[in-house]
């Protein structure tokens, strides 16, 4: 089998992980709009959806493979514990990010059309953490479930 054929048959759902994550972020942000901690909840929920969609989307070809495999719930629970620990660090980091923002110099936190340098750095760190954890969980899922195409 050629490399091009391997790429065509490899799962690609992970490429769309940001769409459900953004949807969940928006829903949670709107639902908790009156709360002081709405950012932490929205970011935590979106991060969780992104990481699991990325991990399972890297392993399974379609939703039928995901929902049709009886081993998925068991392995989902196995991955939930380490994710909860990492999510705790992410939420703590987001809280500290908001706590430190008023203390920083104005050139770092100046809000322009595209946001501030501080916001950009925060989003990049969050994206890097999500992608890293997604790859880690995808590798772990592949080892736990095995190659779903065999």
Lowest mean pLDDT among 4-18, 39-53, 67-81: 4-18
What is the torsion angle, in degrees rounded to the nearest 10, for the CA atoms of residue 59, residue 65, residue 71 and residue 76? 50
Residue 4 forms part of a structural domain: no
Does 6 fall in a domain? no
Boundaries of domain holding 58 = 11-145
Cα 41 to chain centroid distance, Å, stands at 13
pLDDT confidence of residue 79: 83
Average pLDDT over residues 84-93: 93
Q: Is residue 5 part of a domain?
A: no
In a domain, 28, yes or no: yes
| 30 falls within a domain | yes
For residue 91, the model assigns a pLDDT of 94
Around 77, how many Cα atoms within 13 Å sit in the side-chain half-sphere?
4
Q: Positive or negative CA dihedral for 80, 86, 90, 91?
A: positive
CA distances from 118 to 28, 92, 109 (A): 23, 17, 6
For residue 60, the model assigns a pLDDT of: 67
Mean pLDDT of 72-98: 87
In a domain, 97, yes or no: yes
Q: Is residue 150 part of a domain?
A: no
Binned at pLDDT 50, 70 and 90, residue 29 comes out as: very high
Residue 74 lies in a domain: yes
On the 0-12 / 13-18 / 19+ scale of CB atoms within 10 A, 60 is: buried
Mean pLDDT of the chain: 80
Total domains in the chain come to 1
């Amino acid at each position: 089998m050629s490399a091009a054929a391997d790429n065509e048959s490899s799962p690609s759902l992970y490429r769309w992980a940001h769409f459900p994550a953004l949807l969940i972020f928006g829903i949670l942000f709107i639902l908790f709009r009156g709360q002081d901690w709405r950012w932490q909840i929205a970011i935590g929920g979106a991060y969780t959806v992104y990481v699991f969609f990325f991990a399972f989307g890297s392993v399974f070809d379609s939703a039928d493979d995901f929902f049709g495999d009886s081993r998925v719930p068991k392995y989902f629970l196995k991955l939930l514990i380490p994710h909860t620990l990492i999510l705790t660090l992410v939420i703590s980091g987001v809280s500290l990010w908001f706590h430190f923002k008023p203390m920083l110099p104005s050139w770092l936190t100046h809000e322009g059309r595209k946001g501030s340098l501080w916001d950009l750095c925060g989003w990049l760190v969050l994206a890097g953490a999500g992608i890293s954890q997604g790859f880690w969980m995808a590798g772990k899922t592949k080892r736990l479930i095995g190659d779903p195409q065999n």
